[in-house]
Amino acid sequence: MNHGRTYESGMDLEMDSVMDLGMDLEMDSVMDSGTESMAVVWSATQTGKIATPLRIECVQARGFSGITMLGSAGRVCEDGKERARTALERLGWTAPARKILISVSPAEVKIDSSHLDLALCVGLAAVVDQTAWSITCEDWMFAAEVGLNGELRPVSGVVAWATAAMTLGLKGIVVAKENLMELCCLRNVTDAQEKGFLFHGFHTVSEVLAWLVSGTGIASDSPEQIDLRLDEPNFDDMDLSPLMELVATVAAAGMHSLLMKGSPGTGKSMFARRLGSLLPSMNSDDHLKALCIHSTISSQVSAAIISGVPPYRAPHHFASLAAMVGTATAPGEMSLASGGVLFLDELPEFRRDVLEGLREPIETGEVAVSRAGASNIWNAKVLLVAAANNCPCGWAASKRRRCHCPPSRLLAYRNRLSGAFQDRIDMHINMEEPNNQIGSVLSQKLGDRHKTLKMKATVTQARSRAAKREAEIGVTLNRDIPSLHILSTFGLEESESLKMIQRVIPDHASARSLIRCLRVARTIADVENRDSVTAGDIEQAWNWQAWSAAKHRGEFLPL
């Protein structure tokens, strides 16, 4: 093969022969590599609340036999290839006497989780099995941990990965059967139904491979077959005064933050635990966010969150700042309670940095966490409910027992809550002691068993009224009304509203407490089914502000 060339010496001929031989070998190599089969499957990873789709390519290559992973896989992910190999070998699969390369891209994304196991199983089986499968594995996302016996185990993060798969245009996602519950309800909160996006759950690897080969054998994944019966505490077994009933409905209707102060046994914790029963089910947006957040930290989301019940979180006062507001990769209690109730019992016992760290989330409804090399913004639109005693021993201003706290200790206890923090709470309630505690407890048996339903109906009606009125300014809750628009929601002439406000609210009120007072007043009118806000509404709302509540308790507050 001289390609029409002439040679002047034997050396030229020898060199040309070597070049021709190298060219032939290179062409043979290209031809051989072109005949190698390659399998492509999809999985995903998550950093904070951001899900990144992962393209996993499996191919046979020349070299010593073995499985090599390419990318930024951590130890847990690297071990996944051995879990996948062992599970497949138990099904009769034999690894070829050639090198198998597994490339995970984007290669720069760090992965250190076991949820890639199922994708690796499917990729390894596909690259060795030359028969045609009924299902194209490249059209699906796979996410599950695989046991050595081939059992599929649930993993955290599948909700975010499913939404990423929908955005990518895949046909569906395959997960462990235990993860299926939280995915099925995505049909109601996303456009999965319109896109025809499917959710399949299996118990073992063999079931997944049988489905890929035959296209059949899918167990029912209908959410209607999931039992989500809930038994949450409510106000039916609690003796509420008319004032506290108004407090409950106003706080729930406007999602207004609430601080209750009083002696032990006045019902602070009991009230807070039952307040969530008045909240309507989460809307589609809040429900999807709650599913994503809870799926991030748990391999199995609770039945309450799956069914759209607003969450209830009650962290202990030993909780750290990171546990409360979260980190760049994991949500905190503020985010886990988003859309529902966050109850902080014994509020002054929380660390000062924790309480001060809540100031911005209370104001903005978001937690912005920044760390070296990572940052994230978590949702934190919570109904903050807090409880505190009046003094360290709890009996200051009590009618039943005498307080023995020295003045210095009493002052230090009150100073644990900064003025800036208290100013961001919408409603400050002084809890009254029952005159006849035994009679109050026993009378619960004779209470109105439909009280909660009536209160919840009032909350729903008030929210509907507020959402219709404030649709033009883009808010649905009264607590979110911008300060520039608050007077326009009063149903009165602006000049008349200003005169009414000036008569009721003292001049020393801060701008923040003034706006919060007016928002609460608007909610009071909505709860009482009135279009216009009255002076009585503003006066009641001002009595629930920090300065007024402290004055009624007999505490000294400098102006």
For residue range 336-393, list pLDDT tens digits in order: 999 999 999 999 999 999 999 999 999 999 999 988 777 889 999 999 999 999 999 9
Rama region for 140: left / alpha / beta (φ>0; ψ in -120 to 50; rest) = beta
Can you say how many angstroms the Cα of residue 252 is from the centroid of all Cα atoms in its chain?
A: 20
Gyration radius (Cα) of the chain, Å: 32
Positions in the chain whose pLDDT score sits under 50: 1-35, 223-229, 446, 558-559
Beta strand segments in 355-481, E = 366-371, 374-379, 383-388, 427-430
| H helix intervals, 424-485 | 437-443, 451-469
Asked whether 93 and 125 are in contact (CB, 8 A), the reply is yes
Q: Partners of 151 in the beta sheet? A: 204
Q: Partners of 202 in the beta sheet? A: 176
Asked whether 119 and 173 are in contact (CB, 8 A), the reply is no
Pairing type for strands 50-61 and 374-379 reads unpaired
Element (H, E) at 522: helix 511-527
Residue 244 in 3-state DSSP? helix
Residue 378 in 3-state DSSP? strand
Asked whether 93 and 128 are in contact (CB, 8 A), the reply is yes
Q: How far is the C-alpha of 83 from the C-alpha of 413, rounded, in Å?
A: 56
Residue with tokens 């879990």: 83
pLDDT score, position 441? 55
Q: What is the dihedral of CA 496, 498, 426, 488, to 10 degrees?
A: 60
Q: How far is the C-alpha of 170 from the C-alpha of 142, rounded, in Å?
A: 11
- Position 379: which residue type? N
pLDDT score, position 28? 42
Asked whether 213 and 133 are in contact (CB, 8 A), the reply is yes
pTM: 0.86
Q: How is residue 483 annotated by DSSP?
A: G
Asked whether 173 and 143 are in contact (CB, 8 A), the reply is yes
Q: How is residue 285 annotated by DSSP?
A: H
Q: How far is the C-alpha of 274 from the C-alpha of 260, rounded, in Å?
A: 14
Q: How far is the C-alpha of 126 from the C-alpha of 120, rounded, in Å?
A: 10
Instruction: Give, in degrees to the nearest 5, the angle at Cα 528 between 522 and 532.
Output: 45
Percent composition of the chain: helix, strand, coil (DSSP 3-state, to 5): 45, 15, 35
Q: Which domains does the chain have, with CATH numbers?
A: 38-225 (3.30.230.10), 235-553 (3.40.50.300)
Instruction: Give, in degrees to the nearest 5, the angle at Cα 390 between 386 and 394.
Output: 105
Return the closest-CA partner of residue 234 out of 287, 283, 272, 265.
Answer: 272
Q: What is the dihedral of CA 384, 479, 290, 246, to 10 degrees?
A: 60
Return the closest-CA partner of residue 209 out of 268, 146, 265, 160.
Answer: 146
pLDDT score, position 437? 58
Residue with tokens 């789709």: 53
Q: How far is the C-alpha of 226 from the C-alpha of 241, rounded, in Å?
A: 39
Q: How far is the C-alpha of 26 from the C-alpha of 519, rounded, in Å?
A: 77
